[in-house]
Amino acid sequence: MNKSELNGSPHNMQQNHQDAMAMVRKFDSESKIRTKDDIDKFVSAELPDPCTDLRLFQIVTKCMVHGPCGTININSPCMRDGQCCKSFPKQFKDDTEENVNGYPIYRRRATEPVQVGKYSIDNRWVVPYNLWLLKKFNAHINVEVCASVKSVKYLYKYVYKGHDAASVKIQKEGALGHDEILSFVEGRYVSTPEAMWRLNEFNLSHKSHTVVRLAVHLLQQQPIVYQDGQEAQAIERAALRKTTLTSWFELSKNDP
Strands 83-84 and 97-100: unpaired
Task: Report pLDDT for 1.
Answer: 47
**Pick from 107, 88, 100, 90: nearest CA to 42:** 107
- By 3-state DSSP, what share of the chain in percent is helix, strand and coil, each rounded to 5? 35, 10, 55
Task: Report pLDDT for 89.
Answer: 92
| Residue 86 CB neighbours (<10 A) | 15
What pLDDT tens digit does each residue of the chain (256 aa) get? 455 555 666 666 666 665 555 666 666 777 778 888 999 999 999 999 999 999 999 999 999 999 889 888 888 999 998 899 999 999 999 999 986 666 789 999 999 999 998 899 999 999 999 999 999 999 999 998 876 666 666 666 655 555 566 666 676 776 667 788 887 877 777 788 888 888 888 988 877 888 888 889 898 888 888 888 888 888 888 888 888 899 999 999 998 7
Asked if residues 140 and 63 have their Cβ atoms less than 8 Å apart, the reply is yes
Task: Report pLDDT for 2.
Answer: 53
Task: Report pLDDT for 22.
Answer: 61
> Phi and psi at residue 125, in whole multiples of 5°?
-105, 5
Euclidean distance between CA atoms 4 and 16, whole angstroms: 9
Task: Report pLDDT for 114.
Answer: 93
- Its pTM stands at 0.55
DSSP class of 64 = S
Q: How far is CA 113 from CA 51, 53, 142, in A?
A: 15, 17, 21
10 Å CB burial of residue 60 (0-12, 13-18, 19+) is buried
Task: Report pLDDT for 161.
Answer: 59
Q: How many residues does the chain have?
A: 256
DSSP class of 126 = B
Euclidean distance between CA atoms 169 and 177, whole angstroms: 10
